[in-house]
Amino acid sequence: MPSPAKKPAAKRDAKAAAPKSKAVGKEVRPGSADAPVRSGSTPQVPRGMKDILPQEQRYWRHIYKKIESLARGYGYERIDTPILEETSLFVRAAGKQSDIVEKEMFSFIDKGGDNVSLRPEGTAPVARAYINHGMLAMPQPVKLYYVGPMFRYERPQHGRYRQHHQFGFEVFGDSNPVIDAELIMLAHQFYKDLGIKTTVHINSLGCPNCRPNFTAEIVAYFRSKRSQLCEDCKRRMTKNPLRVLDCKVPGCVALKEAAPHIVDHLDDDCKNKLMRVLEFLDDLQVPYVLDPHLVRGFDYYTRTVFEVVLSDEQVIPAPLPVPAAPAHGHRGHQAVPEAQPVQEVPQPMPAVALGGGGRYDNLIEQMGGRPTPACGFGIGLERAILQMKALQIDPPDDNRTEVFLAQLGDQARRKVFALFDELRAADVRVAANLSKNALKGQLEAANKMGAKLTAIIGQKEVLDGTVLLRDMESGMQEIVDYNKAVLEITKKLGRE
């Protein structure tokens, strides 16, 4: 623990260091430790990034548990790839013209002169690992899942961070539409397990054989409306016309309504495969809608693409603003309080994709591997947590203290120490504050932690060889034998 006397010294150090960082004429290499330090100020979390504080962790634990149980249940093995990859991996996989590669990559030249990027997504690294480790020689399909941080260098805005977390499931080496359906079901099931109802939006982006047909149709349609498109879409028209369908600018969204449907221009093979996927989804009772304009942000998708969207029935109406006292006597208008702090309650996002994915049969070959069909999906964890909060889904707090051990006096402290270890070994979540002397403060701590039981050992209990057990909810107290304390406690916690 830092002693109070140290604090001023630390402050002085920071001040003393400050002028050095302003050294004139000294060239600073990007990424080196000699980069300028903002003088005097406390280091801040990098722009667009955030800390996940202890009180948030129960959401994360809950979600990680759901992911793991889903993976175990359906036979997916975990894979971890580095956070840093060669930039060329993502350029090759996502396409030079994709938004991600064009403007959102967190790329830099490292000290060795290599062009590297913090991974913006999980599929390309997993596909790279599949090739690098010769997984094609393993029995197919190979089913993998990943969880971890992803990075996008974009302007930070509400709910979007430069570092966010994603998990994804990927299946390599199987082109059967049942795989597509399984993955769609898993994405839907993940939310169902959290208590969130979703609907799947699904479409097919065809194959190299039929994609040129509908791309031509779509180009012809939007060319006639070119003047009404946003600037980004005007560029997309020449480079990546299907992405116009993905534009969120209201003017472009309106134009999309009358655009040709991709499904009308699929060849027979692609159409059949889409029908098979839908049939499987019917069997699995996954609610879906065919969305003939759905495209996804990456160039590597072929055939099935899908997104998981919050079901309408799950959307709870936003709470009305509290009417303020009519300041100017206006009638007929509900006055909205001005000086009130912005409400931090997140709102459910009905129209926003809560995750998605699709088939990418050409990616492995495009990256230099042998032709290998593949399919997968990814889900953002921050978004899932935001939905949980908006829908008031409270995850169980499974780190909560069950038993607090309170003590009075040195001998009691020693007994508590031993009991603590026995309880911990019996898998009881136990806490104590051995440096505290007053019983009152210890009981307050037990209350704050939400302990179900408090076990008290004072001088009397030491002499009698007993423990006083107090039920924190009912206030009932009971004296038990010290040697039977673990048994009694586990019984009271309903462990036996």
* Closest CB 293 distance from Zn ion, rounded Å: 13
Residue with smaller CB distance to Zn ion, 249 or 318: 249
Assess contact for 183 and 67: CB atoms under 8 A: no
Take residue 434 and report the two structure tokens written for it: 């051995």
* Closest CB 238 distance from Zn ion, rounded Å: 14
Query: Cα-flanking dihedrals φ and ψ of residue 248, to 5°?
Result: -100, 0
Residue with smaller CB distance to Zn ion, 270 or 485: 270
Residue with smaller CB distance to Zn ion, 181 or 252: 252
Residue with smaller CB distance to Zn ion, 204 or 454: 204
* Closest CB 104 distance from Zn ion, rounded Å: 17
* Closest CB 297 distance from Zn ion, rounded Å: 14
Residue with smaller CB distance to Zn ion, 237 or 434: 237
* Contacting residues for 183 by C-beta, under 8 A, at least 6 apart: 169, 171, 357, 375, 376, 377
Residue with smaller CB distance to Zn ion, 86 or 267: 267
* Closest CB 208 distance from Zn ion, rounded Å: 8
Residue with smaller CB distance to Zn ion, 165 or 211: 211
Residue with smaller CB distance to Zn ion, 220 or 479: 220
**Dihedral angle computed from the Cα positions of residues 207, 208, 210 and 216, in that order, rounded to the nearest 10 degrees:** 120
* Contacting residues for 437 by C-beta, under 8 A, at least 6 apart: 408
List residues near Zn ion by CB under 5 A: 206-207, 209-210, 230, 233, 247, 249, 252, 267, 270
* Closest CB 229 distance from Zn ion, rounded Å: 6
* Closest CB 170 distance from Zn ion, rounded Å: 22
* Closest CB 91 distance from Zn ion, rounded Å: 23
Enumerate the β-bridge partners of residue 477. Answer: 470
Beta pairing, strands 466-471 & 84-86 = unpaired
Residue with smaller CB distance to Zn ion, 247 or 472: 247
Query: Cα-flanking dihedrals φ and ψ of residue 84, to 5°?
Result: -105, 135
**Residue among 398, 397, 435 nearest 416 (CA):** 435
* Closest CB 452 distance from Zn ion, rounded Å: 56
